[in-house]
Amino acid sequence: MAGYADAAVVPHVVRWVESSGGPLIAIPEAVLPFWAGADGDETSSDYDRACDVDGHVGLLPVGDTRALVLGDEPASTTYLPEHGTFVRWCAADTETELLAGVPAALDTAAWEPELHWRVPGSVVLLDAVWPGRSLRETDHVRVELAPGLYGISAAQVWTGPETWLGLVRVRPLAGT
């Protein structure tokens, strides 16, 4: 599976972020230094707080904003800007097969109730276990978002007998 370093060499490669077993997090770049991951002497680390999020998505306070936690499955995840959606690789034989099913999946998804997420700008998708200061050493995907309010909805979709993906739609809300 292609990682961040591969995409730096080949720009059209879809960049996937792997989980070490826990949730992934999309955190505003402005507060990356405040994310301690699993580090720290506290009884409940930032990573523990991310693990406590129930369901497919949740919002978690970090600094003066919130981060988006992609919970439930520790699935490899990418962001497809042309669809405004995080795509989670739950089951598929190939990347091509998985990505080919995204347009139909978006059309047929049964979306969960929408969350509202205000972001100060671009976010970074990374494994929640890593501190924000270790970004250079970890797989990550930078997601260009304009500052504003977004509607966040999640869905699980089967696009074939053995192809299953998770979707997290990031939709700008009007008037923000």
**4 compared with 47, residue with greater pLDDT:** 47
pLDDT band at 72 (very low <50, low <70, confident <90, very high): confident
Q: Which amino acid is at 175?
A: G
Query: What is the structure's pLDDT at 8?
Result: 43
What's the residue count for the chain?
176
**Distances in whole angstroms, Cα of residue 94 to Cα of each of 132, 148, 163, 165:** 30, 35, 9, 12
> Is the pLDDT score of 113 beyond 50?
yes
Predicted TM-score of the model (pTM): 0.88
Q: What is the pLDDT of residues 152-175, one digit of tens each?
A: 999 999 998 888 999 999 999 986
Helix, coil or strand: residue 147 = coil
For the residues of 28-95, what is the DSSP string, one character each? Answer: EGGGGGG--TT-SSSSS-HHHHHHT--SSEEEEEETTEEEEEE-SS--EEEEETTTTEEEEEEE-S-H
Task: Map residue 125 onto helix, strand or coil.
Answer: strand
